Structure 1
Amino acid sequence: MRTSELLRSVLTPTAVIRLLLGWGAFLLLAAVRPLLAGPLPTWLLWLVLGGIVAVIVISAFGVVIEAEHLAHRLGDPYGTLVLTLSIAAIEVILIAAVMLGPGEHATIARDSVMAVSMIILNLVIGVALLVGGSRHPRLRANRTGVSLYLGMLIVLLSVAFALPALIGADGAYTAPQAIMMIVLTVGLYVFFLVRQMGAQRADFQEIADAGPTASAVGITPPSLTAVLRRHRTELIARSLLLIAMVLPIVLLSHDMATLLDDALARAGAPVALSGILIALIVFLPEAITTVRAAALGEMQRASNLCHGALVSTAGLTIPAVLTIGLLTGRPVLLAETPVDLLLLGLTLLLTLATFSARRLTPLHGAVHLFVFALYGVSVFS
């Protein structure tokens, strides 16, 4: 493919519009920031906040779309890793913006990661099972891969939410404990990635009779080295475009955090809503991709997207937030409430029961959605 044709395929009109919208919104806010310095009327506050959130969501969709193109070229599990790492990066950016913004946000990381866990494991998986199970009677995922994800989640989420209440101080790790948890968590996550990308790669691919995959039709996918050599220019171009779409999210996140703090305070909303909003912003684009994969009968890809994203969140976001807390002296309260710990434990047990089944059905999805509804009730209780 010639360079001009490649640029046209990468810089599509939609991609250009997303770039212009993201960078244009940042420049506009920079120009009018003095006018936003004082207390805003409530209607104007929500209008500006809604506009910023809309631009961030549109930019996040652009990031996920470019990551999907990279995923298509690289194949699983490399492709879904690009997607999940992109999502984790956006989440860290937004959480850090709220943490370092005005007001006290010691629980923002806890609330956000908890919300992501409930959204991924119950809402998105529930919808995916409803859609996929209705269309594919023999829907199932690679049990080994899902069990590996679940094992990682049990350990990492326990370290994030349960252990601080038992060995920490006032629900937060002490500085030496935080350093140890950062090292252990990152070390385990890196080892997981090495195994996932190498010797255990097949454990995270579609099983032969579960969907229209390459292995099912006897086609051996090309090696990663061959893909990089053949499509190097396209991969570089799409990676640069992905970064160009992430940057407006970084630049707009500070303004979003400031306005969000004021808006929720005026509305008297639960503190956890800020974490839920971040979780919804971060995972909405990938949720749509997950449901599409399930609709095509690619349940292992849906698992890679959902469970892989949550493993990346627990394995990268928590260490990143702990590091930010150590460097800035900000408290990072991670210990969860008994209600949320109960719901999290129930969710992990339900996930084990669901994906241990010989086939996945819409009824499995309905039970996951029921648990998500319980989480919604608990937030406002």
Structure 2
Amino acid sequence: MPRPTLLGLPPSTVATPLVACALLAASWGQALGWMMLLVVSGVLIATVLVAVFHAEVIAHRVGEPLGTLVLALAVTVIEVSLIVSMMLSGGENVAALARDTVFATVMIICNGVIGLCLLAGAIRHRFVSFRVEGTSSALSVLAALTTLTLILPEFTTTTPGPTYAPSQLAFAGLMSLLLYGVFVFVQTVRHRDFFRLPDGMTEEEDHATPAHGSLSLSLGLLLASLVAVVGLAKMLAPAIQHGVEAASAPAAVVGIAIAMLVLLPETWAALRAALRNRMQTSLNLALGSALATIGLTIPAVGLLSIMLDVPLVLGLPAKEIVLLFLTLLVSTITLASGQATVLQGAVHLVLFAAFLFLAIIP
């Protein structure tokens, strides 16, 4: 018996954003006990998943590679909202929160997500194929953005410490936004074919193209989900920080927690694509999300830092710089041939395990 739907959408995907907005309105400004923390956390995770579901509905309508761009932008808006909310909440260690989250996102995507997709896809299909033109373009932009925003601040001399002066921060934010905009133009307009499935491979349809009614409803529910995520994340921000402090964990763990939270649904989408032998779609999702994270997060937090005089630390310590360099080098080698096997997936997952281990035990 078919499941009931509302304009082609499952009822849970319609109800969840409404419940999340109602919970936000009812509990805003109140102190949260343990029970409410659990409820808010559960609703937040459910809303993130539903937000990406509606982004997928929209993506299915507009096609590739615009579809993966919609998913990447939706996830990045959620991540930026979480970072800004926690920065505005104040407290210790928030100055490096944006840096830690962006770095964690790059490491999770380039090693965890891509490694998992390569391994799973190669186990099922022996090897996976993708377009070098698209992956090399994305990696070149990623290398430039990570160097400009995460490495150079460690070596500038205008201000003490791993920070940018306001003029340098404004320049880095503007260049990040500009470079990401050029990449989006290349991906969606000028060289769109570079980011489609390799010749001889066809897209597998998960469901029928959504009707105009469901498309409009998904757009409205996606916006409602993002509003709810912003508000609920702001309510949870103090609890996350206190939990990390109570566990005596390094401050960078907060950034990793944020990155893992918002990347969980996108990881699942990329893994499903890899299992269906659509590795190009997986890479579009993964690398596009990493680029959107830097290209949109750094300008947003940079503007916040300049306007509100909020301290912002961007430069990575030496250990993290080594991990980032190794990740970019291995990613370039992995994606240079247009094909990969289980070996490449295992290498990336080992780097991901090293990143997590050294973050907890620095």
TM-score, length of structure 1 as denominator length? 0.87
Distance 2:251 2:126 in 1: 42
Q: Residues 361 and 303 from structure 1, CA distance in 2 versus in 1: closer, same or farther, beyond 3 angstroms?
A: same
Letter in 1 for 2:107: M
User: Do the aligned partners of 1:6 and 1:234 also contact (CA within 8 Å) in 2?
Assistant: no
Report runs of 4+ in structure 1 exceeding 4 Å deviation. Answer: 230-233
SS in structure 2 at match of 1:173? coil
Which of 109, 123, 126 matches 1:137? 126
Distance 1:196 1:254 in 2: 33
Distance 1:58 1:13 in 2: 14
Distance 1:70 1:259 in 2: 34
Structure 1 partner of 2:289: 309
- Kindly indicate whether residue 83 of structure 2 is the aligned counterpart of residue 95 of structure 1: yes
SS in structure 1 at match of 2:129? coil
Letter in 1 for 2:342: P
SS in structure 1 at match of 2:7? helix
The percentage of aligned residue pairs carrying the same residue is: 33
Cα RMSD for the two superposed structures: 2.0
Structure 1 partner of 2:183: 192
Structure 2 partner of 1:116: 105
Distance 2:311 2:138 in 1: 29
SS in structure 1 at match of 2:313? coil
Any residues of structure 2 matched to 1:147-226 within 5 Å, and which?
Answer: 147-167=136-156, 169=159, 170-209=161-200, 211-213=201-203
- Kindly indicate whether residue 7 of structure 2 is the aligned counterpart of residue 8 of structure 1: yes
Which of 328, 345, 364 matches 2:344? 364
Letter in 2 for 1:71: A
Letter in 2 for 1:133: A
Deviations 1:248-268 (A, max 9, x none): 111112111122122222222
Deviations 1:309-337 (A, max 9, x none): 00111111111111111111101100001
Structure 1 partner of 2:307: 327
User: Do the aligned partners of 2:99 and 2:315 also contact (CA within 8 Å) in 1?
Assistant: yes
Matched residue count? 351
Which ranges of structure 1 fall in alignment gaps of 5 or more residues? 215-226
Any residues of structure 2 matched to 1:249-328 within 5 Å, and which?
Answer: 249-328=229-308
Distance 1:180 1:331 in 2: 17
TM-score, length of structure 2 as denominator length? 0.92
Residue 199 (structure 1) shift: 1.6
Q: Residues 281 and 162 from structure 1, CA distance in 2 versus in 1: closer, same or farther, beyond 3 angstroms?
A: same
Structure 1 partner of 2:62: 74
Residue 192 (structure 1) shift: 1.6
Which ranges of structure 2 fall in alignment gaps of 5 or more residues? none
Moved more, 290-299 or 169-178: 169-178
Residue 138 (structure 1) shift: 4.1
Distance 2:339 2:170 in 1: 42
User: Do the aligned partners of 1:102 and 1:261 also contact (CA within 8 Å) in 2?
Assistant: no
Moved more, 15-24 or 110-119: 15-24
Letter in 1 for 2:318: P
SS in structure 2 at match of 1:106? helix
